[in-house]
């Protein structure tokens, strides 16, 4: 079952080679022996300039030639790259996060790259070794048969407890090995590992697209999301009231007072135990003060308390403190983490860029003379399930832009809400309430689709690994899980743990394959924008939604590439005979809120 995610070869959606990896497609990953292109290693040196600034080294990959440039300043490096980047060069970086921001600040943009750290993580994960370090020092150590040191936190001093072989010199590499030399060694080892992998052409596509996604993430952080601080301040003032020098804004203060008045005694709405005790004194036992619990409670404090909770959440997560910290010069710049979630979805390092409240979308406004092009991949995961499973009937349903409405017409008497519940039950394993009955109907109408996720769930219940379409691999369950499920006397607890992990793997194969699709989509979109509208900036990406900030005269051209890229991403990810449609309709707006 470890190859569950590759089951499509039975269903006319097999991969037959990915042109996106070949020369001239701008998404390729290294190997002159593979496609005639040139690999060039870019690495930061251990030595710094007299001014304490980083110095860099350039060298051909795979020891192709002795031509090495050392002691390059950031400006020198950017100039060299701009000169050498002809479109047939793959820049090999220990980590895009480390080098690309420096290049962008000096006006250099890489056309394509190979990110060693992201690739190492994908390769380790494919063997079920998700917790192992994947930085340059660890990857080099493995290539040389040495014990890999832990990854150093970029924000913390290097761990001084490493073995003597890996003295804490800032790189974690053995004495006498430069970062550029280590990068070259790791590149060669990774290329060999990719050749040995199951379905290597798929994993190579994933590695290439994830590396391109890392470039997208760096560029998104560099450009920033257009953000009107004055609009944000006005929204906060309208909803939260006047700011206080100390304490709550006026509206929150009024709501807190109303809560206390309703209970007849002072109650701190920010302190859950106090709220629970207040209800208990009123003769109402509640297990917690969570909103979903309080909605079923009949008491005059519930209304102001629920309103307080919602506004307090906005104040804490995206209030004036957030505005001061994250928005500068009209831009919100977050640090994005490609594949930061185990399924391959992105994450962020602070800032909450992937959880922008709807009420604040009005703050995202194009600059004068520019437009926002917003696109949303509608009902992506059900479409991915159709492509993975080869369920022809579900593929036919996916032809509609509103898959749930089409599904409702086909199987649920036109009731869209019930169709959505049924599909989400298939994807997440829900059986509560009427979900079980609706899932049974879905199984009857779309047996291949439901069977696919049920096979993945069964594999998880047995503690096996499952894979996405391109080779993302689920983590193995913990040793505690294995001990519990292997204990014949554990009974209900063992059964529950087994089912819980099965629900995780059931969703993993779909969500991770959706991440595969969007990774390829980002790579294609980045290339298309560079060709059609070089000044356009991809400024936001969240699972299945994208925003491009572009000049007004380029907006129509930018909008036109979205569906083309989505169609190509579907073909590359799921094979040339995949019948599933992936709609990605673009909307041109001046304000993000107007796209919803």
| 39 DSSP β-pair partners | 90
Query: What are the tokens at 197?
Result: 């992998």
Residue 9 lies inside a defined structural domain of this protein: no
C-alpha 537, offset from chain centre: 19
Tell me the angle at which helices 116-126 and 136-143 cross, rounded to the nearest 10 degrees: 60
pLDDT digits (tens, 9 = 90+) for 343-368: 999 999 989 999 999 999 999 999 99
pLDDT of residue 226: 98
pLDDT of residue 66: 57
Domain stops at, among 199, 223, 247: 223
pLDDT digits (tens, 9 = 90+) for 326-341: 999 999 999 999 999 9
- Rounded distance between C-alpha atoms, residue 539 and residue 558, angstroms: 13
DSSP SS3 for 582 = coil
What number of CA atoms fall less than 13 Å from residue 53's CA on the CB side? 10
What number of CA atoms fall less than 13 Å from residue 231's CA on the CB side? 16
Is 393 in the same domain as 451?
Answer: yes
For the range 443-450, what are the long-range contacts, defined as Cβ-Cβ under 8 Å and sequence gap of 24 or more?
A: 445/393, 445/410, 445/411, 446/391, 446/393, 446/394, 446/411, 447/391, 448/11, 448/389, 448/390, 448/391, 448/392, 448/394, 449/385, 449/386, 449/389, 449/391, 449/394, 450/426
Query: What are the tokens at 285?
Result: 């036992």
Is 185 in the same domain as 69?
Answer: yes
Residue 592 lies inside a defined structural domain of this protein: no
Largest CA distance in the chain: 82
Is 311 in the same domain as 404?
Answer: no
Q: Which residue has the higher pLDDT, 20 or 223?
A: 223
pLDDT digits (tens, 9 = 90+) for 151-196: 986 544 333 333 333 333 468 999 999 999 999 999 999 999 999 9
The CATH number covering residue 312 comes to 1.20.1060.10
Q: Which region holds residue 430: left if phi is over 0, alpha if psi is between -120 and 50, else beta?
A: beta
Mean per-residue pLDDT over the chain, rounded: 90
Residue 428 lies inside a defined structural domain of this protein: yes
Is 152 in the same domain as 283?
Answer: no
How many Cβ atoms sit within 10 Å of the Cβ of residue 556? 14
Lowest mean pLDDT among 55-69, 177-191, 375-389, 536-550: 55-69
DSSP SS3 for 244 = coil
Query: What are the tokens at 378?
Result: 């509608």
Number of domains observed in the structure of the chain: 3
Cα four-point dihedral sign 231, 237, 242, 248: negative
Domain stops at, among 514, 541, 564: 514
Q: Is the pLDDT of residue 269 over 50?
A: yes
H or E stretch covering 514: helix 492-532
CB of 503 closer than 8 Å to CB of 42:
no
- Rounded distance between C-alpha atoms, residue 27 and residue 211, angstroms: 9
pLDDT of residue 279: 96
Q: Where are the alpha helices (DSSP H) in 228-379?
A: 229-240, 250-263, 272-281, 291-294, 302-318, 320-326
Backbone angles phi, psi at 65, to 5 degrees: -160, 155
- Residues 28-53, mean pLDDT to the nearest whole number: 74
pLDDT of residue 9: 35
Domain membership of residue 200 as a residue range: 38-223
pLDDT digits (tens, 9 = 90+) for 501-536: 999 999 999 999 999 999 999 999 999 999 999 999
The 3-state DSSP composition of the chain as helix, strand, coil percent (nearest 5) reads 55, 10, 35
Q: Helix (H) and strand (E) counts for the chain? A: 22, 14
Is 82 in the same domain as 199?
Answer: yes
- Residues 111-140, mean pLDDT to the nearest whole number: 96
- Rounded distance between C-alpha atoms, residue 19 and residue 25, angstroms: 7
Q: Residue 584: which of 568, 559, 562 has the closest Cα? A: 562
pLDDT of residue 36: 54
Residues 6+ apart with CB under 8 A from 66: none
What DSSP letter does each residue of 456-483 carry, written as one string?
Answer: HHHHHHTT---B-SS--BPPPPPHHHHH
pLDDT of residue 431: 80
Is 44 in the same domain as 177?
Answer: yes
In whole angstroms, how large is the CA radius of gyration of the chain?
26
Is 76 in the same domain as 99?
Answer: yes
pLDDT of residue 228: 98
Q: How confident is the model at residue 61 (pLDDT cuts 50, 70, 90)?
A: confident
H or E stretch covering 591: none
pLDDT digits (tens, 9 = 90+) for 548-560: 999 999 999 999 9
C-alpha 326, offset from chain centre: 20
Lowest mean pLDDT among 310-314, 382-386, 437-441: 437-441
Domain stops at, among 194, 223, 252: 223
- Residues 49-74, mean pLDDT to the nearest whole number: 84
pLDDT digits (tens, 9 = 90+) for 384-418: 999 999 999 999 999 999 999 999 999 999 999 99
Is 217 in the same domain as 240?
Answer: no
Q: Which residue has the higher pLDDT, 430 or 469?
A: 469
- Rounded distance between C-alpha atoms, residue 169 and residue 46, angstroms: 8
Backbone angles phi, psi at 452, to 5 degrees: -60, -50
Is 49 in the same domain as 187?
Answer: yes
- Rounded distance between C-alpha atoms, residue 145 and residue 164, angstroms: 16
Is 48 in the same domain as 98?
Answer: yes
Is 202 in the same domain as 288?
Answer: no
């Amino acid at each position: 079952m470890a190859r569950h995610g590759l089951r499509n070869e039975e269903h006319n959606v097999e991969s037959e080679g990915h042109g996106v990896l070949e020369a001239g497609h701008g998404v390729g990953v290294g190997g002159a022996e593979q496609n005639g292109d040139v690999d060039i290693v870019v690495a930061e040196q251990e030595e710094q300039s007299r001014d304490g600034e980083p110095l860099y080294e350039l060298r051909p990959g795979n020891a192709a030639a002795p031509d090495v440039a050392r002691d390059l300043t950031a400006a020198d490096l950017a100039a060299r790259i701009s000169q050498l980047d002809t479109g047939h060069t793959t820049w090999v970086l220990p980590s895009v996060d480390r080098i690309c921001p420096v290049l962008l600040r000096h006006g250099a943009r890489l056309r394509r790259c190979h990110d060693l750290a992201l690739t190492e993580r994908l390769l380790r994960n494919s063997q079920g070794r998700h917790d192992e370090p994947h930085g340059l020092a660890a990857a080099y150590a493995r290539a040389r048969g040495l014990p890999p040191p832990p990854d150093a936190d970029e924000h913390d001093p290097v761990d001084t407890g490493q073995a003597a072989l890996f003295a804490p010199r800032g790189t974690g590499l053995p004495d006498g090995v430069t970062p550029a030399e280590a990068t070259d060694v790791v590149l060669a080892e990774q290329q060999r590992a990719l050749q040995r992998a199951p379905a290597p052409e798929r994993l190579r596509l994933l590695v290439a697209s994830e590396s391109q996604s890392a470039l997208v993430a760096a560029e998104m952080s560099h450009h920033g999301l257009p953000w009107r601080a004055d609009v944000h301040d006005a929204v906060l003032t309208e909803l939260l009231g006047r700011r206080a020098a100390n304490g709550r804004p006026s509206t929150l203060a009024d709501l807190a007072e109303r809560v206390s008045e309703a209970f007849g005694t002072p109650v701190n709405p920010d302190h859950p135990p106090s709220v629970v005790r207040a209800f208990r004194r009123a003769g109402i036992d509640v297990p917690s003060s969570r909103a979903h619990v309080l909605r079923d409670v009949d008491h005059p404090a519930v209304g102001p308390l629920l309103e307080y909770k919602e506004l307090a959440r906005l104040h804490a997560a995206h209030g004036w403190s957030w505005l001061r910290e994250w928005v500068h010069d009209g831009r919100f710049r977050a640090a994005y983490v490609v594949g930061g979630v185990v399924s391959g979805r992105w994450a962020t390092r602070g800032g909450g860029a992937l959880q922008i409240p709807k009420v604040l979308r009005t703050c995202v406004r194009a600059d004068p003379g520019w437009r926002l092009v917003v696109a949303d991949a509608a009902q992506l995961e059900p479409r991915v399930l159709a492509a993975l499973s080869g369920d022809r009937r579900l593929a036919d349903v996916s032809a509609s832009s509103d898959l749930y409405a089409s599904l409702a017409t086909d199987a649920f008497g036109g009731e869209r809400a019930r169709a959505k519940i049924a599909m989400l039950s298939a994807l997440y394993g829900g059986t509560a309430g009427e979900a079980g009955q609706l899932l049974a109907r879905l199984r009857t109408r779309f047996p291949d689709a439901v069977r696919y996720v049920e096979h993945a769930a069964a594999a998880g219940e047995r503690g096996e690994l499952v894979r996405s379409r391109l080779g993302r691999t689920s983590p193995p369950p913990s040793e505690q899980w294995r001990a519990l499920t292997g204990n014949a006397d554990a009974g209900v607890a063992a059964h529950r743990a087994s089912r819980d992990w099965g629900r995780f793997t059931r969703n993993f194969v779909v969500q991770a394959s959706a991440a595969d699709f969007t990774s390829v989509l980002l790579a294609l979109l980045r290339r298309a924008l560079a060709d059609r509208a070089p000044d356009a900036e991809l400024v936001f990406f969240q699972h299945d939604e994208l925003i491009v900030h572009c000049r007004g005269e380029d907006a129509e051209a930018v909008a036109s590439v979205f569906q083309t890229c989505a169609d190509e991403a579907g073909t590359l990810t799921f094979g040339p005979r995949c019948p599933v449609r992936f709609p990605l309709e673009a909307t041109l707006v001046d304000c993000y809120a107007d796209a919803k």
